[in-house]
Structure 1
Amino acid sequence: MSDIVKNSSFVRLVFTLGGAGLVSGIILVGVYLVTLPIIQANRAEALNAAILRVVKGTETVEAMVVDGGTLKPYEGEAGKAPKGEVVYAGKDADGKLVGYAIPAEGPGFQDTIVLLIGFDPTRRVIIGMEVLESRETPGLGDKITSDAHFLSNFEALAVEPTIVGVKNGARANPNEVDTITGATISSKAVISILNKSMDTWLSIIAPAVDTTSASNEPQR
């Protein structure tokens, strides 16, 4: 008899715990579904603000995706982040292309570094760079997000033949970057991400710019 009571108590305990787990799971899913649109909206707003900072003079932003090796306007759901390879065309008040904001990421000293790169395809120079995500060492590697001199390297940085890191204060050429003293590894990680991104995007962006320029020429 006692064994039956024990088994019955055990079964009730299992059902109680299982029910509690099920209810908790439903609540968590519900909270996630409710907050997801808010999170996505906040991310989109933060990204848009970053685009305006790295491509100065931008009034409107248009997402562009790679289709068959060429850039085409994103035609998906408004407010929803495009999937796959994407860049953002920054245009002035007259609709003229100012530059592209290019998301890029790669390994840092501690973890993945996520960047947003402003690029002027006409001059083929980087015109802005912002670190969106980084877990580099506080007080050292994390200076890539805030060191004014380091960030000034990316206001008119030539990307050809390749971007090169040099000792702080030794920059002499337009494709060179003064690295941060005490944060050389993180500085060079940023440079590596930039070079890889340019290797990927230059051949895609250049034809798109040529097409845009031709379409904007006056008829004769």
Structure 2
Amino acid sequence: MSDQQDTQEQAETSQDKLANNSSLLQSIMLNSFALGSFALICTIIIALTYINTADNIKQQKKLAQLKALYQIVPKNLHDNDLLTDNINLQVKQLGHRQAQTIYLAKQHGQPTVIVYPVTTTDGYSGDISYIIGININDNSIAGVRVVSHQETPGLGDKIELRKSPWILSFNDLSLENTQAEDWTVKKNGGKFDGFTGATITPRSVTHSIARTLNYHQLFIDQLLKKITIANQQKVSNG
């Protein structure tokens, strides 16, 4: 009888252990599922936040570009629709990673200023994006405006017109009236002022502007033809 009781007790103990193990396994599985679900939800939230933020940043940059566009080419200096007379192109020489809009200002049907969006990757803290208007008649600069950057506040951000008039120093300059060696900051033998404690930023912008002027001289005729063809296609497509 005692042996039977021992056997029964052992069986019950084994069953209890199995039950406990099963309960523990279920608990682990539930916890794992909960953690996995939480991680998935967090990932989805982060992804949606990134998408919404990226779209918002892109929209804000576009608005800043349009505002800067009309500063360079005020409405009283052109009689065409800049949002129509343009072409989307990806130009690696201008730092484009994807197609960007190049605008053409006209008066009485004649091209007067072409406006390029440009990005230089040589900034101190990353990309610096700006637009530059170049006069068609003499290849001189109509104006430059920075539209986005991550340069150091109080130092490199003086490339913004609202922080400093420095960007206006490029107005009316061209490759014809400014020597090649002058297209850098004074610290490196050029003609443009640097910023105290932030030489990299103004030097990057200055070098990029010189490269853009060179690109303009080489390809302006081709660009004007492309814009004309693009506008004709827009008209034919209604």
Q: So what's the TM-score if we normalise by structure 2? A: 0.64
Cα distance in 2 for partners of 1:206, 1:166 equals 31
1:103 is aligned, of 104, 109, 117, to 117
CA contact (8 A) 2:156 2:201 kept: yes
Mapped pair 1:151 → 2:167: yes
Specify the structure having the higher radius of gyration (Cα).
2
**Mapping of 1:24-173 within 5 angstroms?**
24-27=42-45, 40-56=58-74, 57-58=77-78, 60-61=81-82, 62-66=85-89, 83-84=98-99, 86-92=101-107, 94-106=108-120, 107-145=122-160, 146-148=163-165, 150-160=166-176, 162=180, 164-165=183-184, 167=186
Cα shift readout 1:121-160 (whole Å, capped 9, x = no counterpart): 2210111111122222332222122321x22212211134
CA contact (8 A) 1:88 1:102 kept: yes
CA contact (8 A) 1:66 1:86 kept: yes
Q: How many residues align?
A: 191
Matched residue type, 1:134: H
CA contact (8 A) 1:119 1:127 kept: yes
Mapped pair 1:7 → 2:25: yes
Distance 1:29 1:186, change over 3 A: closer
Q: Which residue of 1 aligns with 2:205?
A: 190
Cα distance in 2 for partners of 1:187, 1:35 equals 29
Matched residue type, 2:205: V
Structure with greater strand share of residues:
1
The alignment-based identity, stated in percent, is 23
Q: 5+ unaligned residues in a row in structure 1: which ranges?
A: 68-81, 171-175, 214-220
Cα distance in 2 for partners of 1:135, 1:28 equals 23
Q: So what's the TM-score if we normalise by structure 1? A: 0.68
Matched residue type, 1:97: P
CA contact (8 A) 2:185 2:206 kept: no
Cα distance in 1 for partners of 2:59, 2:131 equals 18
Question: Could you tell me how far 1:99 is from its partner in structure 2?
Answer: 1.1
CA contact (8 A) 1:90 1:98 kept: yes
CA contact (8 A) 1:121 1:209 kept: no
SS in 2 for 1:158: coil
Cα distance in 2 for partners of 1:212, 1:105 equals 21
Structure with greater helix share of residues:
2
Cα distance in 2 for partners of 1:178, 1:136 equals 18
- Higher alpha-carbon deviation: 26-35 or 179-188: 26-35
Q: Which residue of 1 aligns with 2:93?
A: none
SS in 2 for 1:188: helix
Distance 1:35 1:153, change over 3 A: closer
Question: Could you tell me how far 1:14 is from its partner in structure 2?
Answer: 1.6
Cα distance in 2 for partners of 1:28, 1:166 equals 42
Q: 5+ unaligned residues in a row in structure 2: which ranges?
A: 1-17, 91-96, 229-238
- Backbone CA RMSD of aligned residues: 3.5
Cα distance in 2 for partners of 1:137, 1:36 equals 22
